[in-house]
Structure formats: structure tokens, C-alpha cells
Structure 1
Amino acid sequence: MNDPKPETPIEARPTESLSGYSRIDTTVAHPARRYDYFLGGKDNFAADRESGDKLIAAFPTARLTALENRGFMRRAVAYLAGQAGIRQFLDIGTGIPTSPNTHELAQAIAPESRIVYVDNDPIVLAHARALLTSTPEGATAYLDADLRQPEQILAQPDLRATIDLTQPVALMLVAVLHFIPDGDDPYGIVARLVRALAPGSYLVMSHATFDFLPARTVDRVDQITGPETFRGRSKAEFGAFFEGLEFIDPGIVSVAHWRAEREPQPRPSAAEAAVHCAVARVR
């Protein structure tokens, strides 16, 4: 696919078409582009911004939620690449590239780090070139695959060529499981991926929650997101993803609070962030 000219305003770009996918409809709000809008990115369209503004009207801290989730990801990767000594990362549900990404964060600490990104979204695939960069010492790969099909992810030749599953890996599932409904067996998916990891690996997860939201706010959010699949889960439901794993302190907390002592204070409340997170070690 030809990259748009830098000077072309995003609203004027033609709808992109990708081999094997339906045409990307820029007139309908898309969760990845809306998240990009919340993060202050440029890869979004009027429909995404309109939907985002409606969500902010219903849930005023929606933008803060996206920013705090991103902050958790940065701190988790820094911990894993630094204190934990992890040199391999499997980042599933990557979303539209927003710098710094997992590979940039990990390789800034350990240039030899190897990262595999996985997403099945044509929006993300269109931006995959931005992910396919690496230090000379490390490696980065992108897989077009679906989280709901873990066996296919694990069998991908590019994954096996980039990371060694017999050595510790950080499995990153950041803000993605809330798009997997109960009927698609999210717990089974995570368990299968974790079983493929060597002892000493880590599971990194964040997940939207409705624990702190009044029912009327949840209803408004559901109305705005419309046909999008979105399943907020409670702290107990979130914790069930980590069965058999060893939590790293401070365990399950808000994304605003996970090892955030060096972040600007005071921190947002758990209710304002509305996203649970945790990092746990595979025994």
C-alpha cells in the first residue's frame, strides 16, 4: 500500500483497501482510532473524534483512562526489561502505533530485546511499517493474527523465528481482553498462551472495569459504542485470568497506581481510571 503524502490532511485521504480485508470505513467510529484520538494521535477521523467526544461527555475521564493505561504499559515494560531481565516480548492486540511502543521502551533499556506484535485489525495492519523497526542487536516482527486463535499465533513461523518460547517471554495483553466476550472463552485463550511460556515468563494485563461506574453511565457507554463488543470485568473476574501465577507487587490495582510512585502526584483515583491491571510471573 502506498503511504499517503505527509502533507495530505487525514480527512482528505481516500479510504484504504488491504488485501484480504474489507475496505476500511472511515465514516464509522473505530475503537483503535478512537483510542488514538484519546492519546492525542493523528490516525483518526471525524467519526472517531465524534464518538470519543460522546464518550467523554458520558464518562468525563475517558481520555485520562487511555493515558493512564499507556502509562502502566510503559512502567511494566521498564520493570520487565530492567529489574526482571526479560529480553523477549509478545505483544498481542497492539493497536495503532503510538510512540513509545513496547520495542522502543524495551530496547532503550536492553538493545538486544526481541519483540513480536500481533493484531488482526486492518487499521493496525495499515500502520504495521511503523512497528517494524528495531535496534541492530534486537528484532521486531508483526503478525496478522487473531487473539481468539492462540494456536495459530503460537504456530506462526515469524513468531518462532523472532522469539524463543523455551526462554522467558513477557506476554502483553494490554487493554485488549475487554473486547473478547465471554462466549469466545477469554480465560481459555489466556490459559493456552500462558501454557506456551517458559517458567520465569510474565503475563502483563490491563482491562476496563465497570466496578466504579453507575449503571446509567454504563448504559450510556453501551449506547455510544453500539455494535462494538465491549465487556467490562470486575476485579474478581480480572483476577481469574492469573490463576496459578505469582503476582508482582502491588498485585491487582488501578493502572494509575501500578508502581507509579515517580509519576506526578496526586494520582488519579481508581474510579477515574476505571482500568484494572497486574503483572504476574509464570512459575
Structure 2
Amino acid sequence: MKPPVPSKRHTPAVLAAKRLNRGAAMLATSVLLDSAVEHYRGAFHNPAMLAPIATSLAALAGSLHGHGDDKQQRHAKREAIFALTAATGLAGTGFHIYNAMKKPGGLSWQNLFYSGPVGAPAAILLSGLFGLLGERVRDADPGTTPKICGLNAGRVASLVTSIGLLGTSGEAGLLHFRGAFQNPAMLLPVTMPPAAAAMMANAACGDGRKNRWFSRLWLRMTAMLGIAGVGFHIYGVSRAMGGWRNWRQNAVDGPPIPAPPSFTGLALAGLAALALLRDHPED
């Protein structure tokens, strides 16, 4: 590990790391609450169902700690937390795929609709990845371009954001298809995020010096979509039999209220990636 570098509050690398921490924190919060509700519905019949709650809580704590850290130097304990978080998300994705496939009919629409959501654990994987990216960006030598495996960190973060947006939108599309898109607003999570994903893919491969003002605007709109989705899901719960008077059942079986902010977390990470490209456009 490098010797400590004096605090530089306004260093671009530190600011970019803090932005990535914000995205990681939002994703961790979404997973923490969503997995707690969903696994409570499953009665925690498998002790491994406690893992995403514990790791997302640790990722949230690590992200908040990183957001308050002004040092241009990686933090070994935070990095370990984020690595564990990413590994937990990867393992959880495998568990959910296995659980869907072992049911009668295997990997069928019925099982994808009503088994543990295959794409949900990917959010905790993304939280860990963005946390790790933040630590690597923070550890760059002052005055140099942050690199990840020899590549411009802004391009890497843009690519990860693009993939994350596509995956999260696909998961939302699957569940909204199950709901027959009965509310036209249910189309927004399957249209706005994929457009943002295309813009981030272009940022990952295109001209780093380009002024991507429209991409930044679209990401901010995507972030607001995640917050608005909470309101829509609260409304969806209220429309179930008994409404919020029967909250013990409807909040568990209705649309997942904590899930939409995953889009907000990804949008925040995307804005961090674009800021990295703006401040360090060279490859």
C-alpha cells in the first residue's frame, strides 16, 4: 500500500470515488430492504438467505464511510467489504437460477415469474463492484488518469453501469409483464433505463472528450424514475385487497417497494463514470 497522501477534498479522483460510493450506497440500501422483505416472505428457510442482508448492510456502511473519506488512498477494509459484497451477489444469482431450474418445468416462464427473482442478487453484486471501482479510482496517483486493469476507469465504470441498467430493466420488464403492464407507467422502467444503457455503452467506447450533457440529463431522469417507482409501488400495494390496512400481507406480496431505487443507484454511478471521463478523457 502507498504511504498516506494528504487530504485533498476537491481532487477529481476523490470526488469521483465519492460519487461511486453514493451509487453503491443506494444499491446496497435497495437490496437490504428488498431482500429483507422477500426473504421474510420465504421464512428464511435457508440460512444463506441472511447473507444478502448482512453484506448489503456492510456495503452500505462501507459506502457511507467512503463518502466521508477525503483521502486519496484506498481503504483496505472497505475494499474487503466490497469484494465480499460482490461475491455474495454472484453467489446469490447462482442460487436463484438453481432454485428456478430445480422446480417442475425447469427454467420456464412460470418459474421465472414466481421463483426468487433471478436478477435481484445482481444489485448487490453491482454495489460491490462500484465500491471496488471507487477504491481503485481513489488510489490513483495524483495528477494521473485512474486505471482499472490498464483501462480508463471512466470507461470501465460506464460499461458496468450500462450492463447493470440493462439487467435491472430486464428484471423489471419480466415482473411488469407478469403484471400485464396494467398501468402505462409500467413501461417506463423498460424504456428509459435501456436508453440510458445505450448512452453509457457509447461513453465506454466513444470519444472521451465529448460533452455528454444529454446523457447526464437522461441519467438524472432515470434517477428520478427510481424514486417515483417507490411511489407507484406504494400505490400498487394500496390497490390490493385490504390496502394498507392489511399491510402485513400486501406489503410482502405486492409490488416490491424498495426495488425501484436500484435505478437511482445505477444512475448515480453512471454520473460518476461520466464525471471521470470528463476529468480524465485520455485513454
Compare relative contact order (CA 8 Å, sep 6+) and give the higher one, 1 or 2. Answer: 2
Same-fold call, TM cutoff 0.5: no
Q: TM-score, normalised by structure 2?
A: 0.30
Structure number with greater Rg is 2
The structure with the largest helix share of the pair is 2
